[in-house]
Amino acid sequence: MRARREFRNRRDIEVAVLDALVDRHDEGMTVFELRAAVDADIDTIEEALSALKDEGLIVVEEADTRVLIHADERVVPDPSEAVEEDASLFEKLRERFGL
């Protein structure tokens, strides 16, 4: 699942982190699980997490002996919403020229 469209206008790494967190919204993720899901080094992920936390787009909670990160509720799309996939450049050109 992908983060809502209005939250996708940011750095690629931040979008990748949000998408990973939305996929596992109910359970949350540790920093190490995010590292496995997102193709970036730990420092880059931590910078993205810091920016997302400053904007209130993620929630950090301590559960047992682990720190779990969740996407904020407003980032998670409603299951009844139709998910629009971003059209590729080829699809946009094909549509524009009627091919």
Ordered structural domains, the chain, with CATH? 3-95 (1.10.10.10)
Q: State the pLDDT at residue 22.
A: 94
Q: How remote is the C-alpha of 17 from its chain's centroid?
A: 4
What residue has token string 């992920």? 45
Flag whether pLDDT at 92 surpasses 90. Answer: no
Q: For the chain, how many helices (H) and strands (E)? A: 4, 2
What residue has token string 């998910």? 83
Q: State the pLDDT at residue 90.
A: 66
Percentage of residues of the chain with pLDDT beyond 70? 85
Flag whether pLDDT at 91 surpasses 90. Answer: no
How many Å apart are CA 4 and CA 19, to the nearest integer? Answer: 9
Q: State the pLDDT confidence band at 64, using cuts at 50, 70 and 90.
A: confident
Dihedrals φ, ψ of 42, to 5°? Answer: -65, -35
pTM (2 d.p.)? 0.78
Residues 20-34, mean pLDDT to the nearest whole number:
93
How many Å apart are CA 52 and CA 10, to the nearest integer? Answer: 10
Flag whether pLDDT at 17 surpasses 70. Answer: yes
